[in-house]
Structure formats: C-alpha cells, structure tokens
Amino acid sequence: MSAELQEHFDETIAREQRIEPRDWMPEGYRKTLVRQIAQHAHSEIIGMQPEGTWITRAPSLRRKAILFAKVQDEAGHGLYLYSAAETLGADRADLTERLIEGRQKYSSIFNYPTPTFADVGVIGWFVDGAAICNQVPLCRSSYGPYARAMVRICKEESFHQRQGYELLMTMMRGTVAQREMVQDAVDRWWWPSLMMFGPPDQESPNSAQSMNWKIKRHSNDELRQRFVDMTVPQAEKLGVTLPDPELRWNATRGRYDFGTPDWAELKRVISGDGPCNAERVARRRSAHEEGAWVREAATAHAAKQAALSNEGAAA
C-alpha cells in the first residue's frame, strides 16, 4: 500500500502537478515544508519590526502612509503562510511558541538594525528585491497551498521594492548628507542581503532533496547571482556604489562576478548572535503576551453571544 502511495506521489511531482493537503505525502516532505513555511512566516512577522520602528518618525504623511501599508502587508504575508502551514497539520499557537522560544528560525536579515530612514528605502530595494528573487520561483512550488500563498505575496512584493527605490531616488536628489545616508545604508545592507539566499550550494545539504521534491526550484547560488545581476544596473542608475571591490561584469559568462559574503557572520547571526536577535524575539514575545487578555476577552465574548443566541432559539 505504502509503495503505491509513494509511487502516486512521485508521479504527481514528476508530472508537475501540485500536491494538495488531503494527498498522501512522505513524512520528510511534510516536515521539510512545515519547517520552511513556518520559517518563512516567522520572517514576515519579525520583518515588521526593523521598518515598523520608523512609522512614528516617517518624514511626511505620504511616507508614513506608505510605510504603514507596507508593514501591514508583511503581517498579511505572515498570516497567508501560517495558513498554508496549518494545512499540513501544524498548529498556529504552537508555531508562535516555537518562534518566541527560539526553537524555530527566521531570516537572518531582520537581525540588523535600522538607524536611519534610508534603511527603510534600502530594505525595500535590497531585502524585498532579494525576496522577490526567492519567491517568484516558489509560486511554482510543488505544494499547492504554499505556491498559492506565494502568488498572493509576490503580487504585493513589487510595491515594496518600488516604494523603497523611489524613496532612495528622492533622497539622492536631496542634500549631500542625505546622499551619504543612502550610501551608508547601502554599505551596511549589501552583504547581509546576499546572505539571505543561504549558504553556498556545497554547504546546503538539504537543498538537493528540496529540489527533487520541487519545493525549491533553484539553488542558493543561482538565486544570489540573479539578485546581483538585477541589482547592479539599479545601483548605477541610483548613483550609489555597491561595497564589493570584486564586483565586475564578466562578458564570457554574461553575468556579474562578485566577492564572497562573510559566511562566518551568517552562521553567527543565524545561531542567535546577530546585532538585534534578542531584541526582535523579546519584542515578539511581549506583543504576544500583552495581547493575551484581548484574545481571552474575545473568546469570552463569543461564548457569551453563542449562549445568548442558543437561549433565544430555545425560547
């Protein structure tokens, strides 16, 4: 029986059809997906913080409204993804606990600080740009609910990247101090953004299995290369310098050559020792714990209303 189920699963994947929640699937496939989708959801939720801190200090009402909408989108993306994880049998409250207890990870990029408003622009340009490179192929991921969540997310992500780039163009037309602020943010975010694609292929042991299962469509290094190729001309247009002396066009490959990110730094930040790891998780924990009374009150109200309407029906 199990061999037949496995065969049916393999055929479905091979035919480029989607696996749906009610289908039989190997336990490894389910576990890999729950881990990946949960990490992805946590990243969206934690990702609200670095930019959210600028909402009250945005320089104009226009920028404030845009930033508000963007951060609200990140919350929405997190919820689409938690919803997808739940189709695999994961429990929402359990996932939240895993995040605030440090038992599940989120993207290393959100553990860097945002000291200036230019960071808001650079996050939109680099971080959301990198997310687009990662996420567009995930729209064809083999697991239906994950792929569908990614379609929704990708539609919204383009606004994020464009508002960031436009913000930076505006600052680049401003004072010398503003231009320096943009360059400083570019210098700080470039390498961490390249690290978002994960370790190099030879050090990413789970990638091959994920690609066989068609959860993932391209290797970390391929996606990183795409991001560099996409971003270099945008940097030239903007008038900033990317902080990599090895960055140059390779006419033979038809792609840019670039330097090696500091993989030791990535390991440090992933394992909890980044500039803001403790702060981010503490903030998420306090939001969750301080919201407990609201959740309890809503539950009590719902129970009371249900009881009242039952009485009404009986009378």
Partner 1 sequence: MNEPQENTQGSKDGWPLYEVFVRGKRGLNHVHVGSLHAADDRMALTHARDLYTRRNEGVSIWVVRSENIAATTRGEKDPFFDPSADKVYRHPTFYDIPDDVPHI
Q: How far is the CB of 14 from partner 1 (least distance, A)?
A: 14
Q: How far is the CB of 272 from partner 1 (least distance, A)?
A: 25
- In this complex, which beta carbon is closest to partner 1, that of residue 73 or of residue 244? 73
Q: How far is the CB of 126 from partner 1 (least distance, A)?
A: 24
Is residue 307 near partner 1 by the rule CB under 8 A?
no
Binding mask 156-195 for partner 1 (x = CB under 8 A): x---------------------------------------
- In this complex, which beta carbon is closest to partner 1, that of residue 23 or of residue 184? 23
Output the CA–CA distances (angstroms, integers) from residue 215 to 15, 33, 123, 220, in the order listed.
14, 8, 26, 13
Which contiguous run of DSSP H or E holds residue 257? strand 255-257
Output the CA–CA distances (angstroms, integers) from residue 239 to 23, 93, 258, in the order listed.
51, 46, 19
Q: How far is the CB of 78 from partner 1 (least distance, A)?
A: 10
- In this complex, which beta carbon is closest to partner 1, that of residue 83 or of residue 234? 83
Dist. CA 288–CA 101, nearest whole Å: 12
Residue type, 41: A
Output the CA–CA distances (angstroms, integers) from residue 195 to 26, 180, 225, 228, in the order listed.
30, 24, 12, 12
Is residue 237 near partner 1 by the rule CB under 8 A?
no
Is residue 84 near partner 1 by the rule CB under 8 A?
yes
Is residue 298 near partner 1 by the rule CB under 8 A?
yes
Q: How many CB atoms lie within 10 A of CB 127?
A: 25
- In this complex, which beta carbon is closest to partner 1, that of residue 237 or of residue 295? 295
Dist. CA 257–CA 244, nearest whole Å: 10
Question: Which of 26, 30, 55, 76 is in the footprint of partner 1 by CB under 8 A?
Answer: 76
> Which of positions 13-32 make contact with partner 1 (CB under 8 A)?
21-24
Question: Which of 10, 28, 31, 92 is in the footprint of partner 1 by CB under 8 A?
Answer: 92
Dist. CA 188–CA 112, nearest whole Å: 9
Tokens of 136: 């567009």
N- to C-terminal Cα separation, the chain: 54
Q: How many CB atoms lie within 10 A of CB 249?
A: 11
Q: How far is the CB of 302 from partner 1 (least distance, A)?
A: 4
Give Dmax over CA atoms of the chain in angstroms: 83
Binding mask 54-73 for partner 1 (x = CB under 8 A): ---------------x--xx
Cα 60 versus chain centre, distance: 27
The window from 93-101, 119-127, 168-176, 215-223 that contacts partner 1 (CB under 8 A) reads 93-101
Question: Which of 278, 282, 306, 308 is in the footprint of partner 1 by CB under 8 A?
Answer: 306
Selection from 73, 49, 40 nearest residue 159 by Cα: 73
Binding residues for partner 1, rule: CB under 8 A, are: 8, 12, 21-24, 69, 72-73, 76, 79-80, 83-84, 86-87, 89-94, 97, 145, 148-149, 152, 156, 295-296, 298-299, 301-302, 305-306
